[in-house]
Amino acid sequence: MNPRTTGTVCHVPLVAAKSPLVARVRVGGGGFSGIVEGMDGSTTDRGGSPTGRWDMTALLGFVGVPLLGVAGVIAWAISVRDRLPDPIARHFNAAGEADGFGGLTGILVITIVVTLPVVLIMGVPGSWRRNPRILRRTLGPGSTTFAGLMCGFVADTLVPQLDLMSAEGAVLGSSWSLVGAGAGLAIGAIVSWALKEAKAPQAEHAPDPSLPRGPRSEPVRTETSTGMKILAAAWIVGTVASLLLSPALFLILGLSFFYIVQTYSVRLRVDDDAVRFRALIGESIPLETITAARPARYDWGDSGGIGIRGVDYPRSRGKRIAVASRSGEALDIDTTGTKWTFVVPDGTAESLAGDINARLDRLHG
């Protein structure tokens, strides 16, 4: 029951997707059809079940608003072209002083070329209902936050140069980048909170009799590996040090830290009505939708990384949402919608699976 499988990861890279920590989701006909209910401590069905392939609220918030924001900033930049020196300052040294010059068009083209792919890569999967809500909540806010940061960066570059005769001596600002990133993060958080998901159907039968049964289990907590703790500490040091180079780099590294520590610590408990887990974000899996629970194993080398991610295993394990803070012993939970894999402390997978299956036996009489 604990096979060490190798699987194909479904890829959609996030910002700086070189990291093995980035969540990956397939976009297209083979995407996850998982349906899960409720973030821990939140209601599940606000305003009825959603229908259709796209969540229009998410599409507007994660894609429409960022693109409109970028379009608005570009329109503003064009409108103040006559108030800018020619050439304008386009590059700044570590002290924020202008040391590279050129035309306005170059800045605007770079803004579009850099921002558009990020918005599409993160915002579109975040709006697609076939992706489980927890992945959409992970991806979508990155789109709005990054777009806000880029809009603010354009303003920080141009506002200090307004009405100057020459760009020599211009100093790069930072306040608009902070405002833009903060506004984008707030919009992303609000849209994420509003995301809805259709309720999964109830399971029709008790789990297979061959699966483990056992007494009630204790809540468990899984921490990330020592190597990842060292990486997180190094990331913090690098982020602080980046202030000496660029406020924009500091913001990018700081905002990306979420994806480094999203599963730094994962708590999981089995209740009478649901299996609940909490990382930086969490979900509740209604017990009535669970079809089986079994011990398993997760290896980040097989599946491409740690974090909250989509994994496509061969044969019976199939497509799953992995919540992994490290490699090791895991708990597979199958539902009528999503299949889940949770990395758990060594020696606890059997008892957790037994507790869930025993509760399901009682639920189904």
- How is the chain split into domains, by residue range? 8-37+202-224+263-363, 56-194
Provide the edge-to-edge strand list for the sheet that holds 319-324. 8-9, 307-312, 319-324, 339-343, 328-335, 290-298
User: What's the average pLDDT block by block, 10 residues per block, for the chain (365 residues)?
Assistant: 41 37 38 36 38 85 96 96 90 76 91 95 91 89 95 93 87 88 95 85 90 93 90 92 80 87 92 92 92 92 78 79 91 92 94 96 88
Judge whether 136 and 125 are in contact, CB under 8 Å.
Answer: yes
Name the residue with tokens 């919608």: 337
Q: How many CB atoms lie within 10 A of CB 117?
A: 11
pLDDT in the model for residue 192: 93
Q: What is the pTM of this model?
A: 0.76
Judged on CB neighbours under 10 Å (0-12, 13-18, 19+), 80 is: middle
pLDDT in the model for residue 307: 86
pLDDT in the model for residue 143: 96
pLDDT in the model for residue 131: 85
Alpha-carbon distance of 39 to 135, in angstroms, equals 12
For the chain, the straight-line distance linking the first and the last C-alpha, in angstroms and rounded, comes to 26
Query: Which residues fall within 8 angstroms of residue 363, CB to CB, at 6 or more apart?
Result: 206, 287, 288
- Tell me the pLDDT tens digit for each residue of 170-200: 888 888 999 999 999 999 999 999 998 767 8
pLDDT in the model for residue 210: 93
Alpha helices in the chain (DSSP H): 56-58, 65-79, 104-127, 133-158, 175-194, 226-241, 247-261, 300-303, 349-363
Q: Helix, strand or coil for residue 191?
A: helix
Q: How many CB atoms lie within 10 A of CB 32?
A: 21
pLDDT in the model for residue 171: 84
